[in-house]
Amino acid sequence: MYFLYILECQDKSLYTGITNNLERRFLEHKNKKGGHYTASYKARKIVYFERFQTKNKALKREAQVKALRRKNKLALIAGKA
């Protein structure tokens, strides 16, 4: 199983990624081992996630979500998209 996730960072920015272990990946981000962006803009919390059976499906959805404007990501998080 794979997850698409959106993190909220301390500066209120949003970070989107995929993983096969959501809890581990979040801890990596919190400990500044999860990527350059979250090393600079500390990850605060997981605000959204979706489950996928394959990595390919998760990657496709990640590309879709990353292409969204911030207001559309916020609507997705709020369940209004």
**CATH number of the CATH domain containing 14:** 3.40.1440.10
pTM (two decimals): 0.93
Per-residue pLDDT reduced to its tens digit, 64-80: 999 999 999 999 999 97
* Mean residue pLDDT across the chain: 95
Domain span holding position 70: 2-77
* pLDDT of 81 higher than 80: no
The count of structural domains within the chain is: 1
Rounded to whole angstroms, the Cα distance separating 32 from 65 reads 23
* pLDDT of 13 higher than 90: yes
- Work out the number of other CB atoms within 10 angstroms of the CB of residue 40: 11
pLDDT of res. 80: 78
